[in-house]
Structure 1
Amino acid sequence: MKTWITTLGLAAGLAFASTAGAQQKELSFGIISTESSANLKSTWQPLLDDMQKVTGYKVNAFFSTDYAGIIEGMRFNKVQVAWFGNKSAMEAVDRAGAEVFARMTQPDGGTGYWSLMIVHKDSKLQTLQDVLKDRQQLTLGFGDPNSTSGALVPGYYAFAQNGVDPVKDFKRTVRANHETNILAVASRQIDVATVASDGVDRMKIKLPEKHAELRVVWRSPQIASDPMAWRKDLDADAKQKVKDFFLAYGKEAREKEILAKLTIGGFIASSNDQLLPIRQLALAGERGKVEADTTISAEEKARKLKDIDARLAELGRQVASAAK
């Protein structure tokens, strides 16, 4: 099923590319792989059907087996609009000519979510420190490398700040999407996993008996809700129609019901500025690796750290300016 859906997405993207320079008729909408493609298709398709009706464009769902596939899809114009996490959006902005135009809100109206570390409810592990202490005997379910809540945020706050390498220091580390990691913990196939809080919320809706098997042992600082992004060179008329659609969506009862299955409250305007804290986090993680690197000379380390500190200072200025 995954192969068939991904192939369908690729074909749709190529169909769009063949009309480049002609009248805009189709849009391919990229959906990051937080769950199986079949599950994502069933929950996103009603929204995409509404998007097609309102904008007048044929809207095709584009799936990939990992986050990088959506980033590359946008890079090569096989994807024109996409739902990203903050880390994958940052990569898409830097590598694929993407631009953030909106962000999701939570069902309760909030504008953020969390990275969680979960274990089976009967696990002896009670805290993050328990996990770190016993890590050499544990199997860790870690997120996609481009996942904000599955990899970047816990990689820094839970592991790097405690001098732990999540890839090397556990008995075994497996990478998977949020849904797979949640189900693996619930069925005791792995000991602990880093996942998104909204992924856990969706599991409570879909499979409450699995959700009941979970327990949270660590919660991150709040993360900005997921961004929506388009290619910067998308036709101006298409941009306006797409933005108008998302900012207006979720006001009617039927639309609210569709969004509830996605654990989304609605959408608000945003920009690339929402990615600045993620850039700070990524650089801070890079700085920690340089500091711990024993293979380079003191001079080389000092040079690299000076460069990173300058970039962090500039990001700090940008964050302060954006907050005004």
Structure 2
Amino acid sequence: MSSMARVLGGVCVLCCSGWLAAATAACLNPKVLQMAVIPKNVRNAQVSSQSALLQSIQEESGKAVELLPATSYAAVIENLLAGKAHIAELGPASYALLSKRAPHFVPFATLSRSQQLGQYHSLLVVRGDAIYQSLPQLRGKSLALTDPSSTSGAVVPGWMVQKATGYALTHYFSRVLFMGSHDRALEAVRKGWVEAAFVASDQMPEDDKSWRVLWRSPALVGSPFVMDARLCPAIQAQLRQAFLERQERLQAWLQMQHYQYVVPVTAEDYAGVQALIAPPADGQPSP
């Protein structure tokens, strides 16, 4: 080999090595993976209820995993935007809000009771012994919601009430309370603090005769788990493995969440919810 060839070869090695190093350095490779979850119920945000999932992620990635406390859907979104969280569970609407501000967060998994795409409903509920039989009978009464960014506990109800009555939700009811989680919204109805609540069907006790459902939304795609797409490709692959390919490790966690499977999702699965958080120019909600 000529001296010129050796020089060019050396330059190539240096350049390629530098490019690979730069590419590796460009992706996120945190020492600790931080996860946040929306407060669907009081138990949901506790470390003990998420321990099997956290352990699976740690075993698959070889990294320590920490659960970030969050008291609202907005707090989870802000943790993601601030780089404090790398993985999160969001509601469909809160993911849609996040994607408008930071498209580098991608949905990759949701929970389901079958091996098909998970679905749930927004429910308008009253106590089983209440006199109310329909939405019109609740006009001027009090209502509990969960969180302003909750799909089933605020966004879909706001759309439904506007469409059905021509009134904004806050004008149709005399008092609207945001309780912070679905179980707290149910508690408000149970204790008589409010007459009705909008909650997620997957947070309702099954076959519980103490409740009456007055309205049920069309099916909604299950809440997505999202990851930061700036994470190194190997970490992203490990997260998908932990959620989707190692479900035998997750059985205790799934049982606590009242689900049986984790199924894959993409951004396209949540395209429909964009219409609910971005009404047309005439101010009327989309159907």
Matching residue within 248, 251, 259 for 2:254: 259
- What's the counterpart of residue 192 of structure 2? 188
116-125 or 95-104, which deviates more: 95-104
Instruction: Confirm or deny: 8 A CA contact 1:249 1:255 kept in the other structure.
Output: yes
Matching residue within 282, 287, 292 for 2:280: 287
Tell me how far 1:26 sits from its aligned partner.
1.0
- Higher relative CO (CA 8 A, sep ≥ 6), structure 1 or 2? 2
Tell me how far 1:249 sits from its aligned partner.
3.6
1:273-312 deviations in Å (ceiling 9; x for gaps)? 12210012333xx2386259xxxxxxxxxxxxxxx9xxx9
Counterpart check, 1:197 vs 2:204 = no
Count of equivalent residues: 261
- What's the counterpart of residue 16 of structure 1? none
- What's the counterpart of residue 43 of structure 1? 49
Tell me how far 1:258 sits from its aligned partner.
2.3
Counterpart check, 1:162 vs 2:165 = yes
The two structures, once aligned, show a CA RMSD in angstroms of 2.7
Counterpart check, 1:147 vs 2:153 = no
Counterpart check, 1:246 vs 2:254 = no
- What's the counterpart of residue 65 of structure 2? 59
Counterpart of 1:282, as a letter, is I
Counterpart of 1:163, as a letter, is G
Tell me how far 1:38 sits from its aligned partner.
7.2
- What's the counterpart of residue 9 of structure 2? none
The 2-side partners of 1:257 and 1:238 are apart by 24
Structure 1 residues 195 and 20: alpha-carbon distance in aligned structure 2, compared to 1, 3 A threshold: farther
Q: SS where residue 169 of structure 2 aligns?
A: coil
The 2-side partners of 1:38 and 1:93 are apart by 23
Q: SS where residue 171 of structure 2 aligns?
A: coil
Instruction: Confirm or deny: 8 A CA contact 2:229 2:236 kept in the other structure.
Output: no
Tell me how far 1:23 sits from its aligned partner.
5.0
The 2-side partners of 1:289 and 1:184 are apart by 35
Counterpart of 1:122, as a letter, is D
The 2-side partners of 1:213 and 1:42 are apart by 29
Instruction: Confirm or deny: 8 A CA contact 2:146 2:182 kept in the other structure.
Output: yes
Tell me how far 1:21 sits from its aligned partner.
7.7
Structure 1 residues 40 and 116: alpha-carbon distance in aligned structure 2, compared to 1, 3 A threshold: farther
Counterpart check, 1:225 vs 2:203 = no
What are the within-5 Å matches in structure 2 for residues 63-74 of structure 1?
A: 63-74=69-80
1:231-275 deviations in Å (ceiling 9; x for gaps)? 12122211111011111243x3x6323202112222222211122
Counterpart check, 1:79 vs 2:85 = yes
Structure 1 residues 182 and 59: alpha-carbon distance in aligned structure 2, compared to 1, 3 A threshold: same
Instruction: Confirm or deny: 8 A CA contact 2:58 2:65 kept in the other structure.
Output: yes
- What's the counterpart of residue 213 of structure 1? 210
Structure 1 residues 66 and 259: alpha-carbon distance in aligned structure 2, compared to 1, 3 A threshold: same
Instruction: Confirm or deny: 8 A CA contact 1:30 1:62 kept in the other structure.
Output: yes
58-67 or 212-221, which deviates more: 212-221
The 2-side partners of 1:81 and 1:144 are apart by 20
241-250 or 107-116, which deviates more: 107-116
Matching residue within 125, 131, 134 for 1:118: 125
Structure 1 residues 262 and 249: alpha-carbon distance in aligned structure 2, compared to 1, 3 A threshold: farther
- Which entry has the higher C-alpha Rg, 1 or 2? 2
Tell me how far 1:163 sits from its aligned partner.
1.1
Structure 1 residues 213 and 95: alpha-carbon distance in aligned structure 2, compared to 1, 3 A threshold: same
Matching residue within 27, 32, 41 for 2:38: 32
Q: SS where residue 43 of structure 1 aligns?
A: helix
- What's the counterpart of residue 235 of structure 1? 232
The 1-side partners of 2:226 and 2:108 are apart by 7
Instruction: Confirm or deny: 8 A CA contact 1:29 1:61 kept in the other structure.
Output: yes
Structure 1 residues 41 and 214: alpha-carbon distance in aligned structure 2, compared to 1, 3 A threshold: farther
The 2-side partners of 1:88 and 1:68 are apart by 8
Tell me how far 1:200 sits from its aligned partner.
1.0
